[in-house]
Amino acid sequence: MNKREYFSAVNEIVKKAIAARIEAQTALDGVEEKISNRRKYSAEHINKVLEPQRRDLRRQINDAADRAKIEVEKLTAAYVAELEAENHLNGGALTEDAQLLSLGVKLRDTDLEKMFDKHAGNFTMQRLIADYADQNGIRIRRAVEYPNGYLIQTVKNVPYVANKSVGWHTRPEFYEQFMGENSELAQIMNG
């Protein structure tokens, strides 16, 4: 799955939940109005018909949010696992420079920084160089970044935004601002 497919799937879940909540909320508003009109409906009708309808509609509203939350969390967990799998060390990415790190040659910080820069985009080699520096008490001014670190962090925040969008189903501007086509999140996920 790629980030565009993931975000599209999340959006479908959220839109479906919002629609279900709005539908149930509209029906609930009608029932609430009937309950408040005690002159038109008898106490028996309210207790036997309208109160059970109100409880059922409230449950539907909550269930739609709960289902969406669970679905988004499962989808997110699966996608994060895919992304994190790309961050594992890969023995095939080792170069001849790896031998220098294991031969006992005394390397300086400048040597390690040059080697680190030489292997830009090679997570395995950069990690090996950084670990060598740590083990030998050498400070280098470089940091290993996971290839998908920013994307993983962004994806981990999606369930929160999705849950809030569903929870605030009566405020479509929230959805548009945080998950809509022009949102920052959509730009990251669709870019």
Average pLDDT rounded to a whole number, residues 92-117: 93
53 has a pLDDT exceeding 90: yes
User: CB of 142 within 8 A of CB of 130?
Assistant: yes
The predicted structure's pLDDT at residue 12:
98
pLDDT-based confidence at residue 105 (cuts at 50, 70, 90): confident
4 has a pLDDT exceeding 90: yes
For 87-101, the pLDDT digits (tens) are: 888 899 999 999 999
Predicted structure pTM score: 0.78
**CA distances, 31 to each of 40, 58, 106 (Å):** 13, 11, 79
For 124-177, the pLDDT digits (tens) are: 999 999 999 999 999 999 999 888 889 999 999 999 999 999 999 889 899 999
The predicted structure's pLDDT at residue 188:
94
If one counts every other C-beta atom within 10 angstroms of the C-beta of residue 155, the result is 24
Question: Quick one: which of 25, 52, 11, 3 has its CA closest to 150?
Answer: 3
47 has a pLDDT exceeding 90: yes
Q: Is 42 left (phi over 0), alpha (psi -120 to 50) or beta?
A: beta
Structure tokens at 99: 């031998």
What's the mean per-residue pLDDT of the chain? 94
d(CA 103, CA 81): 35
Pairwise pLDDT comparison (39 vs 64), residue with the higher score = 64
DSSP character for 41?
A: S
Residue whose structure tokens are 């969406």: 68
d(CA 158, CA 150): 13
Residue whose structure tokens are 């962004």: 154
d(CA 89, CA 153): 19
d(CA 42, CA 30): 16
Question: Quick one: which of 103, 98, 102 has its CA closest to 116?
Answer: 98
In the chain, % of residues over pLDDT 90? 87
The predicted structure's pLDDT at residue 88:
86
The predicted structure's pLDDT at residue 38:
84
